[in-house]
Structure 1
Amino acid sequence: MTSSITASTPDHLVIVACHAIFLGQPDSPDCDVYDAQQWHLQSFQKPTGTIPGEHETFLQHIYAGLSALAYGSISRSSVLVFSGAATALDVTGLTEAQSYFNAAVALTQRLGQGHPFAECFKSRTFLDENATDSYQNLLFSILKFRRHFGRYPRTVRVITHAFKTKRFLDLHAKAIRWPSDRIHVQGIDPVSRAVDHAQNVDGESKRGLSAWTQDLYGMHPPLADKRVARGWQPSVLQDLGEGLEDDVKALLAYDGGKDGNRPFEGPLPW
């Protein structure tokens, strides 16, 4: 959560798209990230029968993000962003991003101070606390990288549900005109039965891909309404664009044109 970097100059941005809020506190003796009662979960995310709660999948997303910092091809030149706003103000003012950071602290405490996760993650992890949907997860995290390092990442890796892969690669990257060879998705789906998986894929097709195809920037109903329901304030856009390139400011305000699905045409710095 600090800008101190212990690795080489970062080129790679790893984004964990948040989907819920962990309410536990790492310094509390009863903190347990695997306890569903310590998460604010939607009804469809809660444990049912033999199916664990989706919070266990969210912990896998966090673990994958920490692994990218500690191991593998981009470990020495990557930073991690947890992305998610305060989407449950009737329950807590805590942002999804901060809650995931708290969960990551709790996870590393379980592993011990000598573990590679504990050595790297606090100094190379940042929070985007404004995003209220997947398009904003991508764009706002890229802008977070730009604010800290004065340039844009060479590659972006998004860690999210696998069934949302097409949404990110074919629609969100297209909307911001991010080069297709510089974005990757690491998909980790919830534990599912056949019927659950089919429902997830069908729901993404009908309420995700279809909606985003018609409204690339999420500026019109029903996507805009979902943002508002999650606490979105359009005035945030001005703060996000402060000090950035004029073309990026224009992209932040762009609504997709008359039909909502026309890609932004201005020059972009990436």
Structure 2
Amino acid sequence: MNLIILPCHGVWKGGSTKGQRPEEWHLASFQVVGNDHLSFVDHIRVSVEQLRSNPNSHLIISGGQTKKESGPVLELLSYYYLLRELMSAEDELLLHRISLEEYARDLFENVLFLLCRFYELHNQYPDGLVIVGFEFKRDRFLKLHLEKALGWELNNVTYLGNEPDPAELSDIEREAYFEDLKASELKNGYLPFGSDWYGVGSLLKSKKTSRDPFKRYHGYAASNVKLRPFLEALRQEESTNEELKSMLRWK
């Protein structure tokens, strides 16, 4: 069975346009400029298309209570409600193959925790992965999180990415926007995780803490017994990349 991964990037507040207007979302300023909300809607549509086209697949939406200003609202529930609004009547037959993961605080946890959640549901890890997200995050998802950190073979992994669309900007401004976007991903995502594969050091750990304003914690060490030593070691800042990777047990 395959796992379809849909990470959340915002909170849909509801509205008659079904996510088409920025006012229906809790968005950061940079997300407003890039019309990121339209990308979010596309991510949901693509995920449902993937679920529909492969009856041997399970979609898990990942996103917790990561923004204090949004209140204790789960990103994933807002995505799920919007997904229901976007579905056709026939698509409702797919609902039994959709689940939620509410504890991930960054892209690495989006991958790891969804694998753990999948195991809770099916008592096995997936045969293949489909990841739906932003194109500029492709390398971090595949090369760092899956291949390097988790030792996952990429031959059965598909990444379906799109880009923000800052339509109101001039051509010169758009070029600068995407250059800044690439530089920001490199500085704040790829390079930090390139040296700290599991996000256990002070820099990445502080980011996780800031995305957990309501102090929540998962129980995957109990449900994924083979991964228990690894998951528990992630809480120890002194663990090295190599020590952590040696604890992984996918079979």
TM-score range, shorter-chain basis?
A: 0.7 to 0.9
Whether the aligned pair in 2 keeps the contact of 1:80 and 1:126 (CA below 8 Å) is: yes
Q: Secondary structure at the match of 1:187?
A: strand
Which consecutive residues of structure 2, in runs of 5 or more, have no partner in the other structure?
A: 167-173
Task: Measure the CA separation in 1 of the matches of 2:213 and 2:232.
Answer: 14
- The normalised TM-score by structure 1 is 0.82
Task: Measure the CA separation in 1 of the matches of 2:28 and 2:247.
Answer: 39
Matched, 1:84 2:63: yes
Q: Secondary structure at the match of 1:242?
A: helix
Structure having the higher helix fraction is: 2
Task: Measure the CA separation in 2 of the matches of 1:257 and 1:156.
Answer: 29
Describe how 1:85-164 pairs up with structure 2 within 5 A: 85-108=64-87, 112-114=88-90, 117-120=91-94, 122-164=95-137
Cα deviation, residue 186, structure 1: 1.4
Tell me the equivalent position of 1:64. Answer: 46
Cα deviation, residue 198, structure 1: 1.3
Count of residues in Structure 1 that have an aligned counterpart in Structure 2: 241
Task: Measure the CA separation in 1 of the matches of 2:186 and 2:69.
Answer: 30
Task: Measure the CA separation in 2 of the matches of 1:234 and 1:172.
Answer: 24
Whether the aligned pair in 2 keeps the contact of 1:176 and 1:251 (CA below 8 Å) is: no
Q: Secondary structure at the match of 1:218?
A: coil
Whether the aligned pair in 1 keeps the contact of 2:149 and 2:197 (CA below 8 Å) is: yes
Tell me the equivalent position of 2:21. Answer: 35
Matched, 1:224 2:198: no
Give the counterpart of 1:185 among 134, 138, 159. Answer: 159
Cα deviation, residue 232, structure 1: 6.4
Whether the aligned pair in 1 keeps the contact of 2:230 and 2:248 (CA below 8 Å) is: no
Matched, 1:207 2:193: no
Task: Measure the CA separation in 2 of the matches of 1:155 and 1:234.
Answer: 32
Tell me the equivalent position of 1:236. Answer: 217
Cα deviation, residue 234, structure 1: 7.9
Matched, 1:167 2:152: no
Range with greater deviation from structure 2 (193-202 or 159-168) = 193-202
Q: Secondary structure at the match of 2:129?
A: strand
Whether the aligned pair in 1 keeps the contact of 2:44 and 2:79 (CA below 8 Å) is: yes
Range with greater deviation from structure 2 (258-267 or 196-205) = 258-267
Whether the aligned pair in 1 keeps the contact of 2:3 and 2:60 (CA below 8 Å) is: yes
Sort the Cα spacing of 1:266 and 1:204 in 2 relative to 1 into closer, same or farther, 3 A. same
Task: Measure the CA separation in 1 of the matches of 2:84 and 2:12.
Answer: 12
Tell me the equivalent position of 1:4. Answer: none
Cα deviation, residue 258, structure 1: 5.0
